[in-house]
A and B are shown apart, each in its own frame.
Chain A
């Protein structure tokens, strides 16, 4: 295990009285709260925990490959929906303020005119380089929000390789790509660690499997479902996958790493390990509205370049928690 992670998690395991009380009040494991206090300070932690108690606002991404987004908005509003654009996340994004029926059950949805997708999630693809034509890989693609967005933004003209190893989840991925009427893709049901694609892709997306600490509002079970050992395992997996992503990228290509989590162990610490091992990797500004990533945590100082990475906080940005970082493999 990485020494830094071991030190951090030992400190988090010894949760303070305050952390234990807050954990009891809000129903979390104490080590999680201890980490949030370390990142945010005590006052802001309450804001985060309160934000996590309110439902996640529903958002959609208009598929302008098939329909003008103003027309989609009008059609849905005629059916009683109320939509507000969220251009700070994506020029295709809308928050659903009122829904007379499930937003995932309209005829417009079946036509492929939109995708029900978190606001932070849909912003991630905007951090990517999307060359047209080009060859792009989405390494953990199901259920297909970001894959369909890549195909949308490249107008189905760049080849997308979408990888998913879970047999059930790849069915959703296939269904969503077909529903949204894209065709320039190959789906692989594989473990991405088993693939041999050296220096092949013009752009790489790794939205890594995570603890899901960023979507506690959607799934409150995540307040207690992952212990420290799970976090260590996930961190190690994320590092392995990001190394693979770097292998897949052509020299000069960018790699966007994202994780739907608030855990520094799944964000900043993953990037820190990569920067320690790969002198050919540099970090670039992601261009999103996300807050600056942290570089100091439980007394440990991380690589200063990590400041260029970003974090979405539920209590600051209003939607899912996410970590995002744009890396480039030097030529």
Chain B
């Protein structure tokens, strides 16, 4: 889900910055690891906004030649809803090298990787390691980012208490919805 119409790009407000910083804190990283600059693509009437971290050359061209009007610009950080921020896949790649010491993350085996990339939950037997419950960056054993998920402990009548990784956004999105 990204911008459907070409709209104006502007600096993020402090409220919007707060939501993104809150997300960064939830995965245990400093905001400066997530972004350098925050710019938002407003879409009139839409319940979401695209957020970017554009380079100085992108910003300069946008300002001087395009009057802040474009369809997509530079590094894509994610989607801002009214009260939440959904991180992008490029952000997962950017932060992947911080796993496992400096970011909340989970590592899947190859079977778990397959399930996850199909947008399906992954259960404990396919989770090799993790350092936190809650929102996590998801990786394979090669330390390649696979996307974002929520890791929870669930009570199940058949299996008892077990780890479950619920996908939030996985690389399979590029095939399912990428266009």
Contacts and interface: CB of A to CB of B under 8 A. Distances in A.
B71 A174 contact: yes
Contact of B62 (A177, A186, A189, A200): A186
B150 to A, nearest CB: 20
B73 interface: yes
B143 to A, nearest CB: 12
A186 B74 contact: yes
B138 interface: no
Contacts of B53: 183
11 contacts: A107-B171, A111-B171, A135-B61, A159-B55, A172-B179, A174-B71, A183-B53, A184-B58, A187-B73, A189-B71, A190-B6
Main secondary structure of the interface of B (DSSP, over half): mixed
Given A167-B4, A189-B6, A200 B65 contact: yes
Interface of A: 104-105, 107, 110-112, 133, 135, 159, 161, 167-172, 174-179, 181, 183-190, 197, 200
Given A107-B117, A197-B65, 16 more contacts: A105-B175, A110-B117, A110-B175, A135-B61, A159-B57, A168-B179, A170-B71, A174-B71, A177-B72, A183-B53, A183-B75, A185-B73, A186-B58, A187-B73, A188-B71, A190-B6
A184 B57 contact: yes
A200 to B, nearest CB: 7
Contact of B66 (A107, A183, A188): A188
A161 B4 CA distance: 18
A176 B57 CA distance: 21
Nearest to B89: A178
Contacts, number: 85
Contact of B178 (A161, A172, A184): A172
B102 to A, nearest CB: 20
A104 B172 CA distance: 11
A178 B53 CA distance: 13
A189 B76 CA distance: 17
Interface in B159-175: 171-172, 174-175
Nearest to A175: B178
A271 to B, nearest CB: 28
A133 B171 contact: no
B70 A188 contact: yes
